[in-house]
A and B are shown apart, each in its own frame.
Chain A
Amino acid sequence: MKPLTITASHVPAGLALEVAGDLDHTNAQELRHAAQDGDLPPGRFLVVDLSELAFCDSSGITALIAAHHHAVAAGAGMVLVAVPAPTRRLLHMTGLDRMFDIRDDAASLLGR
């Protein structure tokens, strides 16, 4: 088990959340709150960087969906960056790869 860390930062595109470690039913709520509490102006993006995500269960997927709904309700968009293979497979299976904007490289969004 790797502890979950969520690091929020402001980037040119909007709000970036770096999600690292295991995202499961014990802590998925933290991701929801991070998305809800962050400053996300309309027309910008919630950029969720999953490059250091070690594990994601269905509660984690639920949190991603809740974050997506929150961004859309705020008039913003949401982008998933560097989704690890197992999570990508899960998104594929559940058809969520159609809903999420999934990108391998989001250097421009993150301003790096």
Chain B
Amino acid sequence: MNAGKGGPGGGVPGTDAAFSALLEDSAEDLYESAPCGYLSTLMDGTIAKINATLLGWLGLSRDQVVGRMRFGDLLTVGGKLYHETHFAPLLRMQGHLGGIALEMRTATGSRLPVLVTSTVKKTDGGEPLLIRTTVFDATDRRAYEEELLRARRAADEARRQAEAERERLHEALAVLQHSLLPAALPDIPGMETACYYHTASASRLGGDFYDLFPLGGDRFAFFLGDVCGKGPQAAALTSLTRYTLRAAALHDPDPVANLSILNTVLLDRYTGDDPRYCTAVAGVLERAGDAVHVHLASGGHPPALVLRGDGRVEHLSTRGGMLIGVLPSAQFVPARTTLHPGDTLLLYTDGLTEARTGDNRELYGDEALESFAAGLAPARPRRVVEALTGLLHGFGDGLDDDTALLALGLPSRTDRTGRTDTGSTTSA
């Protein structure tokens, strides 16, 4: 700095003088016309001195203010309160207070947001003498802050709405999903039933379905299947499939005929380049004394398993039964068996057998399932579904498809409680 280089004669005097003249004519003018407000008050707040800038902002004259008003009188009611309870005591204690946001009240009644900094001037003896205060116009800054606040409130509101929307969608999906599955399996005297539904994704409607319902007398109908695809289109297809099979079963006891009706309905509904189809096993249970006759048919579905009371496992071959909804001339293949006490019939969808296991992500497969069942047999339906649920959980990430299980059986003579169990889970 030139000023530091010593007195007259040093540096470049001509330049210095021109500079000063250009900069300020007087300290008084600097005080009065500075781009911020200045005021000095006595310790009780009475205004002793105030600059023109601040008077201009407030729309007041010097005569109205000096000796007549206190600093607090320049503030809004809220500002005054804050000043008296916080600002002034703290200032007295610390001797300095900076960057405090307050609101001043102008002569026209409007508010002026300001940033206030005050310093206490003391006597040589250390006694507080007066308070010097600078006032910065914070209108722009306040407007900016308010804009930020408004934007944040809007964002909060948008987020709340989105969350509420998502919640509603979630509920709607759950209701739809439930409409595709029975709320509870009916009680069938002398039989035990168990089912399980694994949803691969909580946010997407699943494409597996099952049902069990009375046909009157000693007969019950059941079905279980899997529609192609996922999401709303799959749910619509599931709905059509479920109610078609229900109506068909009430109308005609022949499962092959029921699948043919479903085939016709799906072909009629989904045509051309957007084929939609399903696989399904549908059948009828008929009580005959101590046994239950099962008459079922399959269209493109993995074979049902029977876990016999003596520990054997059979699969009911329905090979050749075609996907339902692909060809007008599709053939469906029937199978019959009889369940005796201790026997359990197991229906499942291919989420189970197509699960990927081990480090090589190999398909779990039909053979592995039959071995697993052989390890369980003899087992009542509840036990079979429990064990398979455990197996499914063990697949972890390897299970990326929906999976439905339905087990129907006659408890062995030594083990009769005829309970019905249902369960379902959703993996995240």
A96 at the interface (CB under 8 A from B): yes
- B274, A66: Cβ atoms under 8 Å? yes
B378 at the interface (CB under 8 A from A): no
A26 at the interface (CB under 8 A from B): no
- B228, A95: Cβ atoms under 8 Å? no
A59 at the interface (CB under 8 A from B): yes
* CB contact under 8 A between A94 and B275, given known A58-B228, A99-B327: no
**Count class of interface residues, chain A:** 10 to 19
Which listed residue, A59, A61, A62, A98, touches B322 by the CB 8 Å rule?
A98
Q: Which of A56-80 contact B (CB under 8 A)?
A: 58-59, 61-62, 65-66, 69-70, 73
Task: Report B214 CB to chain A, min CB distance, Å.
Answer: 30
Which listed residue, B228, B279, B299, B319, touches A92 by the CB 8 Å rule?
B319
How far is it, in angstroms, between the C-alpha of A44 and the C-alpha of B319 when the chains are bound? 31
- B323, A95: Cβ atoms under 8 Å? yes
- B323, A69: Cβ atoms under 8 Å? no
Which listed residue, B273, B327, B330, touches A32 by the CB 8 Å rule?
B273
- B273, A65: Cβ atoms under 8 Å? no
Task: Report A25 CB to chain B, min CB distance, Å.
Answer: 8
How far is it, in angstroms, between the C-alpha of A58 and the C-alpha of B275 when the chains are bound? 12
Task: Report B318 CB to chain A, min CB distance, Å.
Answer: 9
- B228, A62: Cβ atoms under 8 Å? yes
Contacts of B275 in A (CB 8 A): 62, 65-66, 69
- B277, A65: Cβ atoms under 8 Å? yes
B272 at the interface (CB under 8 A from A): yes
A107 at the interface (CB under 8 A from B): no
Contacts of B331 in A (CB 8 A): 95, 98
* CB contact under 8 A between A95 and B300, given known A58-B228, A59-B229, A65-B326: yes
Contacts of A93 in B (CB 8 A): 300, 302
Interface of B is mostly: loop
A36 at the interface (CB under 8 A from B): yes
Task: Report B273 CB to chain A, min CB distance, Å.
Answer: 5
Contacts of B323 in A (CB 8 A): 65, 94-96
- B279, A94: Cβ atoms under 8 Å? yes
* CB contact under 8 A between A95 and B330, given known A58-B228, A59-B229, A62-B228: yes
- B273, A96: Cβ atoms under 8 Å? no
Contacts of B228 in A (CB 8 A): 58-59, 61-62
How far is it, in angstroms, between the C-alpha of A70 and the C-alpha of B272 when the chains are bound? 7
How far is it, in angstroms, between the C-alpha of A99 and the C-alpha of B277 when the chains are bound? 14
Of A59, A62, A93, A99, which is in contact with the most chain B CB atoms at under 10 Å from its CB? Answer: A93
Contacts of A59 in B (CB 8 A): 228-229
How far is it, in angstroms, between the C-alpha of A69 and the C-alpha of B323 when the chains are bound? 14
- B320, A94: Cβ atoms under 8 Å? no
Between A and B, 7 residue pairs with Cβ closer than 8 Å are: A36-B273, A94-B279, A94-B322, A94-B323, A95-B320, A95-B321, A99-B327
B residues at A contact (CB < 8 Å): 228-229, 272-275, 277, 279, 299-300, 302, 319-323, 326-327, 330-331, 363
Q: A58-B228, A93-B300, A98-B322 are in contact. List 10 more A-B contacts (CB 8 A).
A: A36-B273, A62-B277, A65-B277, A94-B323, A95-B299, A95-B300, A95-B322, A95-B330, A96-B300, A96-B323
